[in-house]
Homo-oligomer: A and B are copies of this chain.
Amino acid sequence: MPTPARTSLDAIVAAGRTILEAEGADGLTMRRVAAAVGIRAPSLYKRVRDRADLLRLILNAAGAELAASLDEAATTGNPRRDLVALARTFRTFARRNPETYALMFARSSEGARMDPDLTERASAALLRAAAELAGPERRLEAARTVVAWAHGFISMELAGAFRLGGDVDEAFAYGVDRLATAIEGPSGLR
């Protein structure tokens, strides 16, 4: 005789996101998530394969939000301003979802990998701006250089690695300005 469902996959993923940001990755335990949705840990396995699967679903949900924000941000028509807007949007997301952000870019030791389609969607606007600034042949390297800088800056900021003082906001503004200039025009390589 069927028992009515007491929760849903969406509720589990949402609870997981909240717990992940509030308690960190170590705090995201199956028992804790189960309690948050009013069931016991073993019942979670009716809806997710294992903890890595739950983590994957959490990263996908957050990644979809990020991709949508990026799409919205890059709409000024000016590639340089779009680039600045994209970098800011990226940083804002990371500061609001630091634990999630760290896992998105982590080595797969946690076993969870975001949906590749989402990664592509999140890259699209940047590739467009990069093509306009650096030229179509160099657009991939240019986009990579910018995203590497932005990710590096943000992850160091989140890790508290900027310990030599100075204004971090200003350093971010300086960096994105320098990067935009760096990928502009003909390559100095070779």
Q: How many copies does the complex hold?
A: 2
CB-nearest residue of chain B to A119? B163
Name the B residues within 8 Å of A26 (CB-CB).
109
Instruction: Please state if A108 and B166 are interface contacts (CB–CB under 8 Å).
Output: no
Instruction: Please state if A163 and B109 are interface contacts (CB–CB under 8 Å).
Output: no
Known: A148-B153, A149-B145, A152-B150. A105 touches B178 (CB 8 A): no
Which one of A4-12, A36-44, A182-190 is at the interface? A182-190
Q: Interface residues of A toward B: which range?
A: 35 or more
A188 to B107, CA, bound (A): 36
Name the B residues within 8 Å of A178 (CB-CB).
145, 182-183, 187-189
Name the B residues within 8 Å of A147 (CB-CB).
152, 156
Sorted nearest first, the 9 A-B pairs with minimum C-beta distance are A152-B152, A182-B182, A148-B152, A148-B153, A151-B152, A149-B149, A178-B182, A145-B175, A141-B174
| Chain A residues engaging chain B, CB cutoff 8 angstroms | 24-26, 98-99, 102, 105-109, 116, 119, 123, 138, 140-141, 144-145, 147-153, 155-156, 158-166, 170-171, 173-175, 177-179, 181-183, 187-189
6 sample A-B contacts, Cβ–Cβ < 8 Å, listed by A number: A25-B109, A99-B107, A105-B155, A144-B156, A148-B175, A173-B189
